[in-house]
A and B are shown apart, each in its own frame.
Chain A
Amino acid sequence: MITLLHHAVQAKPPGTGIVEYLTVFVLAAFVGIEVVSKVPSILHTPLMSGSNAIHGIVLVGALAIMGEAHGTAQLVLGFLAVFLATLNVVGGFVVTDRMLEMFKGKPNERTRAPKGADSGPSDPA
């Protein structure tokens, strides 16, 4: 099994890669469509924001390309790519979490804070 896997990884005849990737692409597209076919409208915004964070994984690509960058131009562009991708992935997940945090708890468990204490912990900043 392991050897098979090994071979599959190693022995890739030239030119077949693109077909494999296209297969993956098509399958992923169907999964993507299927997964969100029924979403209540209150979750449209968090879902958009959450999927926005997921494509932040482009950071993996930015890091990979940074590894092979040579020369000033490639390095500068690579630095920029890593920076932008980090903004996307980190900011995306954090802001989505903040949105969803507000949906926590069940109606009955939610106790109303007394007046004056309902604005949350006051931040001096």
Chain B
Amino acid sequence: MPAVSLPLSTVRDLVYLVAIAGFILALKGLGSPKFARQGNQLGAAAAVLAIAMTFTLPELRHSGKNLILALIAMVLGAAIAVPVARRVKMTAMPQLVAIFNGVGGGAAALISVIELLHLHSLGRKPAVYITAEVLLGVLIGSVSFSGSAIAFIKLQELITGRPITYPGQQVMNAIVGVAIGVLILVSLLTGNIAFVFILLALALVLGVIFVLPIGGADVPVLISLLNSFTGLAVAASGFVLDNNLLIVAGTLVGASGIILTRLMSSAMGRSLPNILFSAFGSVITATGGEEGDASRPVRTGTAEDVGVLLAYARKVVIIPGYGLAVAQAQHTARELADALMARGVEVFYAIHPVAGRMPGHMNVLLAEANVPYDELKEMDEANPEMSTADVALVVGANDTVNPAAKTTPGSPIYGMPIINAGEAENIIFLKRSMRPGFAGIDNELLYDPKTTLLFGDAKDTLAKLVSAVADA
């Protein structure tokens, strides 16, 4: 070996640089269907490398009980995270992502707080820019933490998924917002750390009141936004700790998260401000009421009739939605498709970009049920074929086939691309009730003379259809 040797701190920074490159490639890979899984694995490898290298920090290595505590915390965290991540039902996945995101934001906020306490205990008055970094980390991290927690509670249906509004909401938001602004200013001017704790508390409140008025269908877009926030909080803690790895990784996620959030909201035909703030004003005007318009006639059918219709059709298009996911009916849907195909019926699934609860969620659910790729068609590919379909079988979807998106300019979903179920010869809706979908608007298609409704749990109804097809 030559006499030149790099100091350990430089080696560590170089390894962090390798991890940075790994993360960038990982994100790149995650955006392509071919390399997504490798991308994720590369990201994991980069993370393991960087985390392992962190243990060479002399402060950590020689910290005795701190090191032991850190190891215990890691083992504990991994022991909880792995089984939960492996066992969670795929339908519950959005909630889980929300939780993992929230805890990351919490960790970032805590890091900033501890660094401030640490500087304080050393008797140093931190420079103004360091205080600013700490405040940003605490603010963004805490908002992400409590916001994700509320998002989880909403998606888990522990509270209603509908937007929660209350009198004086805007006043309350304004007060919290102004208070946070004032606190930041005062902390920067005085450097008193007590204000940081008040900021922490207020930021937690802000996260809650920010998320409460956002409707269940929009929560995935919100999670993507909070994911971006956590990235920025991590970047802020990178500034606090003078750590390029955290700055780059956090910023990458922060920036890409904003783009992803915009992609998601445009797939829903909505603007981001509309999603975040629509419940505050009176933008949602076209609500159809809790039980739809009871006075209008609809046609309901029996599983036997529909079974015969399906069995003797030439082409059947299955349009799955969130209702299919909550009923865990994806396997039964596949059984029905298999039974029909065995009779020579052409069957494919038309997947709306935002079917399920998150963009791409439905593809994951159907892939889990072993539905082959070639039976899945994206909306743009499926729509030209709708007019030649004998039956459009809408399973637990509503807004994604609602013609109001095309015909009613005042509707909240106006402009959202839809699957043209209405062009099929017959339309079958499998629904739990006449309740409108997430967007809370009535669906004209339900009253179409070509439409037959089958009420009930999607899984039960599909099972009945399977046996009806077998008897036909």
Contacts and interface: CB of A to CB of B under 8 A. Distances in A.
Interface of A: 2-3, 5-6, 9, 17-18, 21, 24-25, 28-33, 35-71, 73-75, 77-104, 106-107, 110, 112-113, 118-119
B70 to A, nearest CB: 4
A64 to B, nearest CB: 6
Contacts of B85: 90-92, 94-95, 98
B234 interface: yes
Contact of A46 (B40, B251, B252): B40
A66 B69 contact: yes
B260 A47 contact: yes
Sorted from nearest, which 6 A-B pairs have the closest CB atoms? Answer: A86-B77, A32-B255, A67-B60, A91-B81, A67-B59, A88-B104
B256 A52 contact: no
Contact of B54 (A64, A110, A118): A64
A86 to B, nearest CB: 3
Interface of B: 4, 6-7, 9-10, 13, 16, 19, 23-24, 26-28, 30-33, 36-37, 39-41, 43-44, 47, 50-51, 54-55, 57, 59-61, 63, 66-67, 69-70, 72-74, 76-78, 80-82, 84-86, 88, 90, 93-94, 96-97, 99-101, 103-104, 106-108, 110-111, 113-115, 117-118, 121, 129, 220, 223-224, 227, 230-231, 234-235, 237-239, 241-260, 263-264, 267, 331, 338, 351, 353-354, 358-361, 363-364, 367-368, 370, 372-374, 378
Given A31-B24, A85-B104, A50 B227 contact: no
B104 A52 contact: yes
A62 B360 contact: no
A77 B117 CA distance: 10
B59 A68 contact: yes
Name which of A52, A102, A119 has the most chain B CB atoms within 10 A of its CB.
A52
Name which of B47, B121, B230 has the most chain A CB atoms within 10 A of its CB.
B47
Contact of B241 (A65, A93, A97): A65
A31 B246 CA distance: 15
Given A61-B238, A82-B70, A83-B76, A55 B27 contact: no
A46 B34 CA distance: 13
A48 B260 contact: yes
Contacts of B260: 36, 39, 44, 47-48, 51
A75 to B, nearest CB: 6
Given A55-B104, A70-B121, 8 more contacts: A65-B111, A69-B63, A74-B117, A78-B70, A91-B81, A92-B97, A99-B364, A112-B338
Contacts of A97: 37, 40-41, 44
A103 B366 CA distance: 10
Given A51-B27, A87-B100, A90-B82, A6 B33 contact: no
Contacts of B50: 57, 60
B33 A43 contact: yes
A53 B44 contact: yes
Nearest to A81: B110
Instruction: Name the prevailing secondary structure of the A interface residues.
Output: helix
Given A50-B39, A69-B66, A74-B114, A36 B81 contact: no
A38 B9 CA distance: 37
B244 A5 contact: no
B360 A69 contact: no
B247 to A, nearest CB: 5
A92 B36 contact: no
28 contacts: A3-B4, A5-B6, A21-B238, A28-B247, A39-B260, A39-B263, A41-B267, A44-B260, A44-B267, A44-B360, A49-B93, A49-B97, A51-B253, A52-B97, A53-B100, A54-B23, A56-B100, A68-B63, A69-B63, A79-B70, A82-B74, A84-B110, A85-B104, A86-B78, A92-B100, A93-B47, A97-B40, A107-B373
A44 B470 CA distance: 38
Contacts of A35: 24, 27-28, 31, 252, 256
Contact of B96 (A24, A64, A77, A91): A91
Given A71-B121, A91-B100, A9 B247 contact: no
Contacts of A36: 27, 31, 256, 259-260, 263
A39 B231 CA distance: 19
B40 A53 contact: yes
A88 to B, nearest CB: 4
A87 B114 contact: no
Contact of A78 (B69, B84, B223): B69
Nearest to A101: B37
A46 B358 CA distance: 10
Nearest to B331: A119
Contacts of A73: 117
Contacts of A40: 33
